[in-house]
Amino acid sequence: MEKKIYGLLGEHLTHSYSPAIHAALGDYEYRLFEVAPADLPSFLADGDFAGINVTIPYKKAVIPYLSEISDAAKKIGSVNTLLRLPDGGLRGDNTDYYGFAYMLDRAKIHVAGKKCLILGSGGASLTAVAVVTDRGGTPVVISRSGENNYENISRHADADVIINTTPVGMYPETEAEAVDLTMFPNCKAAADLIYNPSRTVFLQQAESLGMKTVNGLGMLVNQAALNFRLWTGQEAPVEIMTRALMDEFGL
């Protein structure tokens, strides 16, 4: 019996921990699928995969090609998990919500009653907005050209929590800084969805200012655990997944 093929879909996948995580999980093959935007429709229709994770820049772009979408993904407006249906169609889901909520809990970052700046307006930003809102926080999305942007970000100097959902500071451009945290004297916590490097310039500065910090590794592992359950119907061994990452990458 041939192994089922799963994988990660993105435009540029120079480095990903996902194959190491899934190699520790089950008897299936996990590939990286780098797909140009123009090739996305044909890949989704004819790609040789049983299920797939979706990352930048396709979390919203895949939605028109789905035959089914979960309530969570529909509410958020973003998809990070695809399952190939028996008729060849695709079902979209969002496991990032669960992973991001875990990430905040692990760091004991409480957002209820807090003003939370969310850097970026892509698919991951939609997830952060949903979690913050559901937990009683007030999300403010900072984008490059929206009403709240990097030119007028100083109007939000009273922010309590800052969440980076952009790729700014991600490997290999590790010297890039998402925002200067000294502009936010009330800020007590910083969360970065980036996990490579484990401590971005953004998080290093947050630590130097005495803020609570957390990177995206816990989110990655826990959303992958839910991926595994959706694909196989089995519970994922989170401890084994985390240990596999630590052993392979020295995290």
Active site residue ranges: 59
Q: Which amino acid is at 21?
A: I
CB of 135 within 8 A of CB of 103?
no
Residue type for 222, please? N
Using DSSP, state whether 179 is helix, strand or coil: coil
Whether cis (ω within 30° of 0) applies to the bond prior to 57 is: yes
Give the number of other Cβ atoms within 10 Å of residue 10's Cβ.
19
Q: How far apart are CA 6 and CA 21, in angstroms?
A: 12
| Range list of H helices, 57-119 | 71-76, 96-106
> Mind giving me the DSSP string for 33-51?
EE--GGGHHHHHHH---SE
CA–CA distances in Å: residue 130 to residues 86, 192, 202? 31, 16, 23
